[in-house]
Structure 1
Amino acid sequence: MAIKPHSPSSERNREPILGVLREYFSDRRNVLEIGSGTGQHAVHFAAALPWLTWQSSDRAENLPGIRAWLDEAALPNTPAPLEFDVNDTWPPGPFDAVFSANTLHIMAWPEVQRLFAQLPAITTDDAVLVIYGPFNAQGRYSSESNAAFDQWLKARGAHMAIRDAEAVDALADAAGFRLLADIAMPANNRCRVWRRRHG
């Protein structure tokens, strides 16, 4: 059995995120998590929100760790994780909810664009999208710590950066998703919530 990976930040942020999901996923049934990372979020949220089928996904190298978390928890609402890269073939869905945490600043901007562009093909007409992570507002950092984090990201890879909320909203709008909420979270992060418009 694979060793379970552990992310301290996932441990810290899971309860604040869960509070958002309890509200906005209360009437949802099938969730696609894009970029499940260690798998800690998938287990925590699926256990706390048993009416949801929580479909985790990530690149191939992260799947053994996710499986280790899912196998240990043995929850009935967590199918096997999907191998998934936004640049490749997308799962067919349909999903009435999509969740992603701390992914937009890791992806290259064209990958962020592709993520939003592909959402209409795999979601229901009223799907809810929740994305957690750091965002800039009007091109400005929300805190000194986020400015330092952005510099750290760019040192790791030139394609990485904290994204501007307005640019992300424009992608969501083009995909037919309207912003419902922008919720302040601990450590200068946000939970941004969109709902797909009918038709």
Structure 2
Amino acid sequence: MSRKLPPTASVADQRENGKLFAPAAARNADAICTVLADHAPATGRALEIASGTGQHVVAFARALPDLRWHPTEIDPARRASIDAHAAEAALPNIAPAQQLDATEPGWAARWPPVDLVVLVNLLHLVSEPEARHILDGVASALVPGGVFVLYGPFRRSGTLTSDGDRRFDAELRSADPLIGYKDDLAVADWLRNSGLEPGGVIEMPANNLALVARKPV
């Protein structure tokens, strides 16, 4: 996946020692941790797709210490930031960041099975075919009974429900008409088509949603 996105799509400031800092990640980390605490398996391997700056995986690893976290990112500068945040946190349950473009068909074949997959704020930045490749890969990567937690902004039954969402979606589609907010009902159908069972929709801060799905046993 390679495309030019509007500056508002991913805001991160450079900090010391190679770390990047995203204000949005700082704001939503606790809320996502709460969802994970309620739905994630207690132990096992956790894969985070598009880990961004690394702030999230540190928060997740601290909140769920019995999971072994595997952050991934397509951008080498962000992989360096992930490793810098992890080194500063000095947590034993975060693996080094790995390169992964989950929009590629068949990406999961290169990964060992995992018990949990977490994806934050990516679907609105990719096209529908790319989104479906991501979800197909998630279904392949998960062990039976494994859990998928998907967080981000969505259309609600086809409708953008705030001025901020309408503005951001328009910016994204202006940069690339193939991307933009995905519909929550459509994503639920894509999850089912990928072989996952949608298990709930959770209202989150800033008009976001968390969708939880499980791979059948």
Normalized against structure 2, the TM-score is what?
0.86
* Structure 2: runs of 5 or more not aligned: 1-15
Match of 2:9 in 1: none
* Structure 1: runs of 5 or more not aligned: none
Match of 1:54 in 2: 69
Match of 2:185 in 1: 166
The correspondence for 2:60, drawn from 26, 45, 64, is 45
Match of 1:14 in 2: 29
The correspondence for 2:79, drawn from 63, 73, 79, is 63
The correspondence for 2:96, drawn from 59, 71, 80, is 80
For residues 91-170 of structure 1, the aligned pairs below 5 Å read: 91-170=110-189
Contact persistence 1:2–1:64 (CA under 8 A)? no
Q: How far has the Cα of 1:195 moved from its partner?
A: 0.9
SS at match of 2:132: helix
SS at match of 2:19: coil
Deviation digits for residues 99-125 of structure 1 (CA, Å, limit 9, x no counterpart): 010000112221101011122322101
For residues 183-198 of structure 1, the aligned pairs below 5 Å read: 183-198=202-217
Contact persistence 2:82–2:97 (CA under 8 A)? yes
SS at match of 1:127: strand
Find out whether 1:32 has 2:47 as its counterpart: yes
SS at match of 2:119: strand
**In structure 1, C-alpha distance between the alignment counterparts of 2:204 and 2:18, rounded to whole Å:** 30
**In structure 2, C-alpha distance between the alignment counterparts of 1:26 and 1:128, rounded to whole Å:** 7
RMSD: 1.5
**In structure 2, C-alpha distance between the alignment counterparts of 1:138 and 1:182, rounded to whole Å:** 13
The correspondence for 1:4, drawn from 19, 22, 31, is 19
Contact persistence 2:127–2:179 (CA under 8 A)? yes
Contact persistence 1:14–1:41 (CA under 8 A)? yes
Deviation digits for residues 135-162 of structure 1 (CA, Å, limit 9, x no counterpart): 1122111222211110121233333201
The more displaced of 181-190 and 23-32 is 23-32
Deviation digits for residues 36-55 of structure 1 (CA, Å, limit 9, x no counterpart): 00010001110111011111
Contact persistence 1:126–1:195 (CA under 8 A)? yes
**In structure 2, C-alpha distance between the alignment counterparts of 1:92 and 1:135, rounded to whole Å:** 28
Q: How far has the Cα of 1:71 moved from its partner?
A: 1.6
Structure 1 residue runs of 4 or more that deviate by more than 4 Å after TM superposition: none
Number of aligned residues: 198
Q: How far has the Cα of 1:174 moved from its partner?
A: 1.1
The correspondence for 1:23, drawn from 20, 33, 38, is 38
**In structure 1, C-alpha distance between the alignment counterparts of 2:142 and 2:199, rounded to whole Å:** 17
